[in-house]
Structure 1
Amino acid sequence: MRNKTGFLLMLALFSCFGIMAQTFKVTGTVSDNEGNPLPGATVFSPDRNTGATTQGDGTYEIEVLKGTLLLEASYVGFSTASKKIVVTADMTGVDFSLKPGVDLDEVVVYSGLKKAEKLTNSPSTIVTVSPREIEQFAGSPAELLARKKGVDYFRAGIATPAFNIRGFNSNFNSKNLQVVDNRFSSLVATGLPLGPLVTTIREDTEQVEVILGPNSTLYGPNAHNGLINTITKDPRKYEGTTIVGNLGVNGDGNAYYSLRGRYAEKFNEKWAFKATAEYTRAEEFEYNDSVYIDRNADGITEGYPEFDLDNSVRFFKTEASAYYSPSVGTDLIATYGHSNSTYLAPTNVGRNQIKDWKINIFQLRFKTKNFFAQAYLTTSKTDSTYSIDERTKQYYRGIDAGLTPEDAAGDFSYASGALFIDDSRRWNAEVQYSNTFLDQKLEMVTGAQWQLDQANSKGTYLLDENDDDYINVGQLGGYLHLDYELGSGFSAIGAARVDNHEVYGTNFIPKLGILKEIGSGTLRLTYGQGIAAPTILNLYGNLFSGLILGNAEGFTLVDGTVVEPQDVEKLTTFELGYRGSLAKNLYADVNAYYNINKDFLSPVTVVGVATQRGDTPMSEVQDGFAFYNGLVATYINFGEVNTYGADFSLTYTFTPKLSMTANYSYFDYSFDEDNLDNDFNNDGEVNFLDFLVNAPTHKANLGLNYSGDRFYGSVFTRWVEEYNYFSSFQIASETIPGETYRGVPIVENAKSADTWNYGPLGGFVSFDLNGGYRFTDHFSVGIAITNLFNEDLREFTASPPTRGLYLLETKFTF
């Protein structure tokens, strides 16, 4: 299959090189709103990956191919401006006038159609973290997503921010796809976003975009609740050397430091190169959770602190990319990335100690006017990551059995399945063709994607058995997207995707929409579907000696009941939105949506005593059969629920340098209490404990932003309504009289099964502050403060309360 992929890629490359294309010159000027030229401004075509820098008189000249393209002009301290033009001959007078201040309706994004487009014209609800915001923030770009509408943001510690969109969150959430430079950024076996494991650093991040709601037609399974897309900087647009250092302290008084660097150079019209590196070290917030263990004859469990806890946070990351342009508008880009990470990660059953987890990426991209092709390999490796919860329990089992503390803490402490080894890889390839027809009125994007997951846990948490026993799962998908200008400001979109997966078969995913330009904004109405796919862990998991098994083949229970193999979860969405100006200086981005969710991917659940997994007797598949006798917990599909909500964002510019943004999001759900298919926990009653929506009904934030010639800064406050949260063994809830969870009464500030219920999440108002000063064009100093008043904020389970983080940054650019 790998040879087939290579053939498709080579075919696309030779087809592209075979096109004889004539080039034309586009010239113009870039000035400020008073007509003064802006030397050193950038004019760039994101869909052709070519551009130029203005001369001393503000003029520019670029060479492009015939056809429709989008040009954007940018300059530090000014908003970006963009124009869509049709090139049929040399063009003069393509001028740009830039205004000081923040980017609003002129932002160019890349996620909604897999091509460059104005944000106001996107058929999807997209929020962006702009280059300006990243440049003027001394912390992680992930932190800036907390300031956006519709995004549930959780600080699960210093190293592990978490995201969710439109409900159904968990401590093991794979429903939000992450993409970096067109490559999927997720772990092979679990499907979890790479998050802190990514190889990209902040100084090479140009823009971050978040699609709210499904976008599976273009990105496939698991672009379900949403998509987070990171675009890195092109070295031809962002040349130079940047060296950045951060020194800081968290609210417990523990040190934080980070050193990062980026080098980028355009050597000539054909070659460009960039390289980045980062080393970060910190200490996690002080927190040691209780692990509850039965060590008494009367069955009473007692709490013990997490054993051998290591609060160290360490990241090493590096990337390098070479850009080769054999002709105008044609690029061949080779990228290598590596990261090595150590930190604490929350899960459904406590925390994992991530130890020296290594990610490598190898990516080759080819771009020209109408074609895009890529192939990439992602590898994942760790030999010493473990479950703190299970290792703690096993340690005390050893003590009770008479072992010395030294012997109990050694290999014995990993013997019950605490250790997670990963040596997995993923192969991806994609070809894409785009063009315009019918006098530029019809735009088409079509393509195919292939993926082969090869997971190997060396027998520690999957149904593989040895170093060479890879679990291979392949899938192939194709998509077609059409965008047609109807006239009078109307346009229509239609998209479809077909995916075929080795385990759960074929799925068809459609999307339809209509857009209407109204003044300087666009009104949109869309219908779309998405699917969330079971992960390799869901399908082939083997945890705790086979007590938890993956459900790729189904189970037969002792009473003859058949537990069906796990299938995809389905989502249908209807959405209405508007993005644009309401009045002078007032910009709005609002949307309302209604979702129909079917066939949920359940959390792990006990299904009973099984005689077979598929056609295999349980005695042959369950490692601990002598103890469990076929008792099994697994993953199933169930139920239907409707979710609905709205997101509102208003930005008002007091002056070109000063603006204020207010965001508010509402979310709620409903279900049929008489439909027993919704009774996931099989207690004979359908209620909220069957669905575990895990999202606040209301959340809001407010930010004041200033961006001057030298000084910049912002003040940001966030409110999250208090809400109850349940995720496998993790619980954060108020007392609910008469209700139980996993057989234990739901009582706040009390033990719940194997964990402690500290009470609901949210219910706080936090304040953040950042600012900076550019002393020269080559040297600046910035600060970033999250949780200004150092409060204990309950944001996530199996993680410490979030306290303050105070960073000082120095930046040198050459």
Structure 2
Amino acid sequence: MKYILPLFLILLLIGTQAYAQERTVSGRVSVDVVDEGLPGVTVTVKGTQRGVVTDNTGRYEIVVNDPATILVFRFLGYQTAEVLVGDRAVIDITLEEDLAQLDEVVVSGTRRAEKITETPATIETISAQDLQNLPTFNPGELLARLKGVEFVRAGVVGTGINVRGFNSNFNSKNLQVTDGRFSSLIATGLPMGPLNTVIKEDIERVEVVLGPNSALFGPNAHNGLVNTITKDPRTSEGLTVAQTVGNQSTFSTRMRYAHVFNDQWAFKVTGEHTTAEEFEYVDSVYINRDTIPGTEGYPEYMLDRDIEFNRGEAAFYYTPVDGTDIIFQGGASNSTYLSPTNVGRNQIIDWNIYYAQAKLVADHWFAQVYHTWSKTEDTYSIDDRTKAYYTFTDLGFPEDLVRDSLSYTTGALFKDDSRRWNGEIQYNNQIEESFFYTIGAQYQRDMANSKGTYLLDENEEDYITIDQVGVYGQFDYKFGNGLKLTGAFRGDNHEVYGFNFLPKVGVVYSGDFGGVRLTYGRGIAAPTILNMYGDLFNGLILGNAEGFTLADGTEIEKQTVEKLQTIELGYKGVVVKNKLFVDANAYYNISEDFLSPVTVVGVTTQRGDTPIEDVQSGYAAYGGLVATYINFGKFNTYGFDLGLSYFFNDALSANLNYSYFGYDTDENNLENDFNNDGVVNKLDLLVNAPRNKASFALNYVGDRVFGSVFTRWVQEFDYFSSFQIAAETQDLVYRGVPIVEDARSADAYNYGPLGGFVTFDVSLGYKFSDQVRLSGQVTNLFDTEQREFTAAPPTGRLYSLELRVDLPPINKQ
């Protein structure tokens, strides 16, 4: 506390000096087509965080202190305008519509605001309007419409993405960030996804970076980043209430309220309660490894298809002086649903996420500290519990004893009481008009605790604690005439896997035509705590933070980071003025030390320096047989993404997206032989991605009516993820069993390849007024068999109807 008072005194002194030359500039912002005021336009002083928002009539007032001040007028869907103040006291301005949003401002490419055509990264965006026109509680559905994204849907609520190959049922290579926080689970590193605390109505935009962005955002922004930015209460006052109903017993109520008290204080609060029921689907569970044709599995024991989400957040914004914000926010969620894994499904029961965050945002400074908690007591592996249940009942144990106790004893129960501390400080500035720089440092302490259920901790007091420190920098130099050179770096030191240096460089040339970019970047995928300290199914699966010694004396090296190098060429711009727009990129990746899925390494005698019998709780049954995670190989991937947008008029538009993904590997290099069968083939690489995919959308947004028709094609592809398999019949062996479609494959059932479908979604809505809108949609209109993931039901037809009401703040109605 002793440092807080001096900090505020310094800030107040800075503000007092600025007031010496203050004067007020006012005006009106209108639309170019009709002479109507445009509310919600952000008006900022260029080069600072200071700004205001236009009122319901489009009017604004802002304080400036220099005639050389440049005001920036920015509103989503309109071209950004910059105006020199000079000696004027009144500045009225008209904004022109930006049909392709080439003036859209993003922050995920360089950690500072810049036009999307000037950023040295491939970024796809979802806007607040996109979300507002989506009549469902699940914002993840819009990820399917983004170029270059490998969208995955697993049942009613399971949505997620992968980028440029190497998907799995436990994919931690795409970093999820929300309002500057890492939104990933502490122990597994998985994106929080449905566990997140944010509701759809509070999202301002989502920025998806395709390709590595580890230099600025940390190790796990390996092949993609999903950056969710929520709404500022000062630019989105009022009450929003949304009610969604649909099939699968879907019922969702959401609320958001934001209020501005005065120039210094504002707050917002959100809440959601959603219930639904998963599609009818029962997976097969096999008690032993016999692969006799015709062997039948057991149905999942005590499968519960009920889904429930409760989540909410609150935030307070305080502005002590112009240009400085202090923000306190927190959130919580409680989730129950079914989640696919490498070994069947997990029954997620009352999984709680909490966070508390404090931020300082000033003209040149950014600092934050936040704490994340993850808690569950009753989540379990359905697959393992089913195996235990039928094994014990076949031995004659009483039903109630098996149900309540013995069915969990083989490691089925997952408890979690993990937490994470994060801190960050950042400084940004510019030298004259040409050189911009950002430098920062981050600290992270992970404290994982599974209460002895799925990690190598022993009890609720035994935290696995790991520290990590990173420093980063970003530099932009503008040569003039639209040419910009960008450089970034990150030095990251992890307590277990050591130090890594990650550079990124890019050249961008932009203008009225759009922007062309050429970039080179390095990324890493870091082993998670589960990879390093996992203890699953009584030690059959063990983490590899220390290496293993096999019975024949062979040493298995401890797992380290996967390294990725990417070269990318991209273009985003206009081909036919106000009509045809293109967004395209091509890339080439070099991957080394690939992080494997869990794999059997053989009978072991030691983990690190510890005898395996002292580590493996199921040693009596397994005799030291261990499955773990390793690094291997070097291989290349490549591809391109193409997006075309055509605007028939201001209301009607069409979008066409196409992506190609390819790969090659040195078949003569036995370091690429992941499964140690003496041959290098696709079962070593496990790409798990379609070579081709495409989508087409027809969108209409009028004064009252809005809607869309969306179709998506995904080419058929084989998929392998540890125990899970989805592949056509072929002359290959996976996990010791021939690959045969529509047949048992070791521990799982092979229903055949994923993808190979074309689906159609339609939506339609009507705005009764600026306050009330009613909309509906049907996903998978023709009820096509849409299989995109293993250990999950095919996604059938889903329909929903949503009523949304937007009201002004209570005292301003």
Aligned-pair CA distance for 1:620: 1.5
Residue ranges of structure 1 left out of the alignment (5+ in a row): 1-5
CA distance in 2, matches of 1:680, 1:614: 21
Q: What amino acid is the match of 1:392?
A: T
Partner of 2:35: 36
Q: Residue 436 in 1 paired to residue 435 in 2? A: no
CA 1:393/1:580 → structure 2, altered by over 3 Å: closer, same or farther? same
Q: What amino acid is the match of 1:73?
A: R
CA 1:400/1:297 → structure 2, altered by over 3 Å: closer, same or farther? farther
Aligned-pair CA distance for 1:614: 1.3
Partner of 1:353: 347
Is the contact between residue 65 and residue 329 of structure 1 (CA under 8 Å) also seen in structure 2?
no
Is the contact between residue 72 and residue 80 of structure 1 (CA under 8 Å) also seen in structure 2?
no
CA distance in 2, matches of 1:491, 1:447: 22
CA RMSD of aligned residues (A): 2.3
Partner of 1:752: 745
CA 1:300/1:801 → structure 2, altered by over 3 Å: closer, same or farther? closer
Aligned-pair CA distance for 1:747: 0.7
Is the contact between residue 43 and residue 60 of structure 1 (CA under 8 Å) also seen in structure 2?
no
CA 1:322/1:288 → structure 2, altered by over 3 Å: closer, same or farther? same
CA 1:58/1:417 → structure 2, altered by over 3 Å: closer, same or farther? closer
Q: What amino acid is the match of 2:54?
A: T
Aligned-pair CA distance for 1:583: 1.4
Is the contact between residue 40 and residue 56 of structure 2 (CA under 8 Å) also seen in structure 1?
no
Partner of 1:648: 642
CA distance in 2, matches of 1:14, 1:741: 67
Report matched runs for 1:126-205 at 5 Å.
Answer: 126-139=123-136, 140-205=138-203
Of residues 289-298 and 133-142 in structure 1, the stretch that sits farther from structure 2 once superposed is 289-298
SS state at 2:517 partner: strand
Is the contact between residue 79 and residue 101 of structure 2 (CA under 8 Å) also seen in structure 1?
no
Q: What amino acid is the match of 1:71?
A: V
CA 1:690/1:407 → structure 2, altered by over 3 Å: closer, same or farther? same
Is the contact between residue 64 and residue 329 of structure 1 (CA under 8 Å) also seen in structure 2?
no
Q: Residue 486 in 1 paired to residue 479 in 2? A: yes
Aligned-pair CA distance for 1:813: 1.3
CA distance in 1, matches of 2:480, 2:670: 49
Aligned-pair CA distance for 1:470: 0.2
Q: What amino acid is the match of 1:461?
A: Y
Of residues 290-299 and 454-463 in structure 1, the stretch that sits farther from structure 2 once superposed is 290-299
Report matched runs for 1:74-113 at 5 Å.
Answer: 74=75, 79-83=77-81, 93=91, 95-99=93-97, 102=99, 104-113=101-110
CA distance in 2, matches of 1:343, 1:562: 40
Report matched runs for 1:591-630 at 5 Å.
Answer: 591-630=585-624
Q: Residue 22 in 1 paired to residue 18 in 2? A: yes
CA 1:743/1:261 → structure 2, altered by over 3 Å: closer, same or farther? same
Q: What amino acid is the match of 1:105?
A: L
Is the contact between residue 16 and residue 371 of structure 1 (CA under 8 Å) also seen in structure 2?
no
Is the contact between residue 11 and residue 321 of structure 2 (CA under 8 Å) also seen in structure 1?
no
CA distance in 2, matches of 1:11, 1:727: 55
CA 1:293/1:72 → structure 2, altered by over 3 Å: closer, same or farther? farther
Q: Residue 781 in 1 paired to residue 783 in 2? A: no
CA distance in 2, matches of 1:177, 1:295: 36
Which of 211, 214, 222 lines up with 1:213 in the alignment? 211
Is the contact between residue 454 and residue 534 of structure 2 (CA under 8 Å) also seen in structure 1?
yes
Report matched runs for 1:34-73 at 5 Å.
Answer: 34=33, 36-45=35-44, 50-54=50-54, 58-63=58-63, 71-73=72-74
Aligned-pair CA distance for 1:296: 8.7
SS state at 2:668 partner: coil
Q: What amino acid is the match of 1:162?
A: G
Encode CA deviations 1:552-595: one digit per residue, 9 max, x unaligned. 11112222221111100000000000011111211111000000
Partner of 1:3: none
Aligned-pair CA distance for 1:26: 5.1
Is the contact between residue 9 and residue 430 of structure 1 (CA under 8 Å) also seen in structure 2?
no
CA 1:89/1:343 → structure 2, altered by over 3 Å: closer, same or farther? farther
Of residues 668-677 and 550-559 in structure 1, the stretch that sits farther from structure 2 once superposed is 550-559
CA 1:70/1:562 → structure 2, altered by over 3 Å: closer, same or farther? farther
Is the contact between residue 758 and residue 784 of structure 2 (CA under 8 Å) also seen in structure 1?
no
Report matched runs for 1:270-281 at 5 Å.
Answer: 270-281=264-275
CA 1:93/1:594 → structure 2, altered by over 3 Å: closer, same or farther? same
Q: What amino acid is the match of 1:62?
A: I
Q: What amino acid is the match of 1:563?
A: I
Q: What amino acid is the match of 1:218?
A: L
CA distance in 2, matches of 1:547, 1:81: 58
Aligned-pair CA distance for 1:474: 0.7
Partner of 2:461: 468
Which of 559, 564, 573 lines up with 2:566 in the alignment? 573
CA distance in 1, matches of 2:71, 2:458: 52
Which of 286, 295, 309 lines up with 1:292 in the alignment? 286
Of residues 237-246 and 785-794 in structure 1, the stretch that sits farther from structure 2 once superposed is 785-794
CA distance in 2, matches of 1:211, 1:12: 35
Aligned-pair CA distance for 1:615: 1.4
Encode CA deviations 1:181-213: one digit per residue, 9 max, x unaligned. 010000000000000000000000110110000
CA 1:39/1:130 → structure 2, altered by over 3 Å: closer, same or farther? closer
Is the contact between residue 484 and residue 509 of structure 2 (CA under 8 Å) also seen in structure 1?
yes
CA distance in 2, matches of 1:184, 1:89: 45
CA distance in 1, matches of 2:334, 2:56: 44
Aligned-pair CA distance for 1:771: 2.0
Report matched runs for 1:332-481 at 5 Å.
Answer: 332-437=326-431, 439-481=432-474
SS state at 1:667 partner: strand
Aligned-pair CA distance for 1:335: 0.6
CA distance in 2, matches of 1:673, 1:84: 56
CA distance in 1, matches of 2:282, 2:25: 62
CA distance in 1, matches of 2:758, 2:707: 20
CA distance in 2, matches of 1:629, 1:393: 20
Aligned-pair CA distance for 1:308: 0.3
Of residues 526-535 and 482-491 in structure 1, the stretch that sits farther from structure 2 once superposed is 482-491
Is the contact between residue 71 and residue 85 of structure 2 (CA under 8 Å) also seen in structure 1?
no
SS state at 2:140 partner: helix
Aligned-pair CA distance for 1:13: 7.9
CA distance in 2, matches of 1:56, 1:278: 28
Of residues 392-401 and 112-121 in structure 1, the stretch that sits farther from structure 2 once superposed is 112-121
CA distance in 1, matches of 2:57, 2:311: 40
CA 1:685/1:26 → structure 2, altered by over 3 Å: closer, same or farther? farther
TM-score for the superposition, normalised by structure 1: 0.94
SS state at 2:530 partner: helix
CA distance in 2, matches of 1:462, 1:504: 18
Report matched runs for 1:521-536 at 5 Å.
Answer: 521-536=514-529
CA distance in 1, matches of 2:754, 2:56: 55
Residue ranges of structure 2 left out of the alignment (5+ in a row): 808-813
Aligned-pair CA distance for 1:19: 4.2
CA distance in 2, matches of 1:11, 1:759: 66
Aligned-pair CA distance for 1:58: 4.0
CA distance in 2, matches of 1:90, 1:795: 59
Aligned-pair CA distance for 1:65: 7.7
CA 1:44/1:305 → structure 2, altered by over 3 Å: closer, same or farther? farther
Encode CA deviations 1:204-236: one digit per residue, 9 max, x unaligned. 011011000000011011100100010100000
Q: What amino acid is the match of 1:696?
A: P
SS state at 1:134 partner: helix
Aligned-pair CA distance for 1:609: 2.1
CA 1:305/1:262 → structure 2, altered by over 3 Å: closer, same or farther? same
Encode CA deviations 1:58-99: one digit per residue, 9 max, x unaligned. 442223687998834338xxx233235688987864734233
SS state at 1:293 partner: coil
